[in-house]
């Protein structure tokens, strides 16, 4: 069924099938603005179009944020919130979670999906904190600088850069840019990071482009942009306020003479 805006004159884009024998790397023209200036202009336009996101979780419990972030992996926000609520209703404290059998933890978080993977990870993280600190608490991270707090978090079993950045930014109010699938995709299409830069390395590159005081709003704005316009299979470049700033890395367009499909 035709959808609004799907007329024949509309510019159409899609992700390039890199594994196809017909794949041709897109030709992009470098933008005249230097990269940091372009990143700031991207930030300004996103804020101008959609408003500046206000922090709503800063100074929350960092341990709760850590567990919630583990639960959020490969599932929706709603399911991860339900799983966390179920976990705390069942055990009431993280000390009891740490002492519980993995099977009981998995049963409590089943709503969030991948319970057999997440349950042992949560238990291992809590046990590691207990062994390192003598108690199950992460409030001591507030007194650390960002680099030291990040190092401690990534020393925990199964905690990578994105999870650590979520705790730093959302719970501790420290400067960090978590790179989820939306931030990674949008940043690559905009040419803010290279097309082959993995998410694990993207955070440090993005943090060099904008001032630390903008990290929260920049992160949230890129996510919102990725969900609303710069979608994975069918980005709406015809509606994008960043169109003239975007080299459309990894996309094929009718304007380039390459075939596109809807």
In this prediction the pTM is 0.82
Contact 242, 42 (CB under 8 A): yes
pLDDT at 95 over 90: yes
Return the pLDDT at 57: 61
Q: What is the pLDDT of residue 54?
A: 82
CA distance 89 to 85: 6
Find the catalytic residue in 162, 174, 231, 248: 162
Domain end: 171, 196, 228, which one? Answer: 171
Per-residue pLDDT band at 13 (split at 50, 70, 90): very low
Is it the case that residue 132 has pLDDT exceeding 90?
yes
102 or 19, higher pLDDT:
102
Neighbours of 43 (CB within 10 A): 19
- Does a structural domain hold residue 7? no
pLDDT tens, position by position, 15-62 = 444 454 444 444 444 556 889 999 999 999 999 999 998 876 656 899
Q: What number of other Cβ atoms are within 10 A of residue 191's Cβ?
A: 20
Average pLDDT over residues 252-257: 45
Do 183 and 84 fall into the same domain?
no
120 and 213 both lie in a single domain: no
Of 171, 193, 211, which marks where a domain is finished? Answer: 171
Number of domains in the chain: 2
Percent above pLDDT 90 for the chain? 77
List pLDDT tens digits, range 136-190. 999 999 999 999 999 999 999 999 999 999 999 999 999 999 999 999 999 999 9
Domain boundary among 139, 171, 203: 171
pLDDT at 254 over 60: no
What pLDDT score does 253 carry? 56
Higher pLDDT, 19 or 232: 232
Mean pLDDT of 188-214: 96
pLDDT over threshold 70, residue 257: no
SS3 readout for the chain:
CCCCCCCCCCCCEEECCCCCCCCCCCCCCCCCCCHHHHHHHHHHHHHHHHCCCCCCCCCCCHHHHHHHHHHHCCCCHHHHHHHHHHHHHHHCCHHHHHHCCHHHHHHHCHHHCCHHHHHHHHHHHHHHHHHHHCCCCCHHHHHCCHHHHHHHHHHCCCCCHHHHHHHHHHHCCCCCCCCCHHHHHHHHHCCCCCCCCCHHHHHHHHHCCCCHHHHHHHHHHHHHHHHHCCCCCCCCHHHCCCHHHCCCCCEEEHHHCCCCCC
Two tokens at 135?
Answer: 């108690």
Task: Please report the pLDDT score of residue 58 as a whole number.
Answer: 57
pLDDT of residue 192: 97
Q: Which residue has the tokens 């299409």?
A: 189
Domain match, 239 and 141 both: no
The verdict on whether 231 is a catalytic residue reads: no
Residue-number span of the structural domain to which 186 is assigned: 13-53+179-256
CATH number at residue 203: 1.10.1670.10
Instruction: Report whether 247 contacts 29 (CB < 8 A).
Output: yes
**Phi, psi (rounded to 5 degrees) for 251:** -110, 150
Same domain, residue pair 102 and 163: yes
């Amino acid at each position: 069924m035709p959808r609004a805006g799907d007329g024949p004159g509309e510019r159409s884009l899609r992700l390039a099938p890199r594994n196809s024998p017909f794949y041709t790397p897109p030709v992009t023209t470098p933008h005249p603005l230097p990269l940091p200036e372009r990143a700031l202009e991207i930030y300004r336009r996103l804020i101008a179009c959609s408003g500046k996101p206000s922090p709503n979780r800063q100074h929350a419990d960092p341990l709760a944020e850590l567990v919630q972030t583990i639960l959020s992996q490969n599932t929706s926000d709603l399911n991860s919130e339900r799983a966390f609520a179920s976990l705390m209703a069942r055990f009431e404290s993280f000390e009891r979670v740490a002492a519980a059998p993995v099977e009981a933890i998995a049963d409590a978080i089943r709503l969030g999906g991948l319970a057999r993977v997440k349950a042992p990870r949560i238990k291992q993280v809590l046990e590691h904190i207990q062994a390192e600190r003598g108690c199950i608490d992460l409030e001591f991270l507030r007194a650390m600088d960002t680099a030291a707090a990040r190092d401690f978090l990534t020393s925990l079993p199964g905690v990578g850069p994105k999870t650590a950045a979520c705790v730093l930014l959302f719970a501790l109010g420290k400067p960090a840019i978590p790179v989820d699938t939306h931030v990674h995709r949008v940043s690559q299409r905009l040419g803010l990071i290279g097309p082959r830069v993995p998410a694990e390395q993207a955070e440090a590159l993005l943090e060099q482009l904008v001032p630390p005081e903008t990290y929260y709003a920049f992160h949230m704005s890129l996510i919102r942009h990725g969900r609303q316009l710069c979608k994975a299979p069918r980005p709406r470049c015809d509606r994008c306020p960043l169109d003239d700033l975007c080299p459309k890395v990894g996309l094929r367009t009718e304007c380039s003479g390459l075939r596109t499909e809807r």
